[in-house]
Each structure stands twice: as C-alpha cells, then as structure tokens.
Amino acid sequence: MNRRRLLRARPRHPTNRPRLPKGTDKTIDSYSGLYDNGHRKATGHTDWLRKHGVTRVVLTGLATDFCVKFTALDAVKDGFDTIVWLEACRGIFPTRKH
C-alpha cells in the first residue's frame, strides 16, 4: 500500500467498541463523560458500561486538561480500571502539568 492511499484511508471503528459521547444534556455543562460539572446528573454511561460488563476504560481525546482528565477522575471514582492513552490526547494548554 502506498503512502497516498494510506493518507486517504478512513479509520474504521470496531463495532464491538462503542464510542460514548459526553454532553448528553445540552442544558448542563459537562467536562466529564460520566457526570455534569456539579455531579448533579449522570450521563448514563457508567450504568451502560456496567450493564455490558466493562471493567476497564481507555480514554483518548481533546482536551486532556479538561474533558479527558475529569472523565478519568470520575471513572476511577466509579471503580473502573482507567487508562489515559496520552499519545492519543492533546491538551488545550499542553505546557501545563496536570
């Protein structure tokens, strides 16, 4: 396969690994994928993960210093083995330490 074809290739997402979006309620701000910022309301993702027997979550995305960070903290609190894949993350303020 040549380089030009690789650049055009679309990544395929395995059907057995769902992506769970955060921000399920447009009236409530949420950095975490699991709860709103005040922990008043859950997104339902924790229940879904538990229902499907998930014990480990691997987090990637933007922004490491906000969304990924707060989702990781909530996942740990909810008892999940939590991995943040730093090579697949980018922070808004990449020079800050978190």
Q: Give the start-to-end residue ranges of the domains of the chain.
A: 29-91
In whole angstroms, give the CA distance from residue 60 to residue 84.
Answer: 6
Q: Which CATH number fits domain 29-91: 3.40.50.970, 3.80.10.10, 3.30.70.940, 3.40.50.850?
A: 3.40.50.850
pTM of the model: 0.72
* Of 84 and 94, the one with more pLDDT: 84
Question: In the predicted model, what is the mean pLDDT of residues 78-96?
Answer: 86
Q: Residues with Cβ < 8 Å from 88, sequence gap 6 or more?
A: 60, 61
> Residue holding tokens 């690994």?
17
Sign of CA dihedral 12, 67, 49, 81: positive
* pLDDT tens for each residue of 33-79: 899 888 888 888 999 999 999 999 999 988 888 989 999 999 999 99
- Residues linked to residue 62 through DSSP beta bridges, in sequence order: 90
pLDDT band for position 22 (cuts 50, 70, 90): low
16: pLDDT strictly greater than 70: no
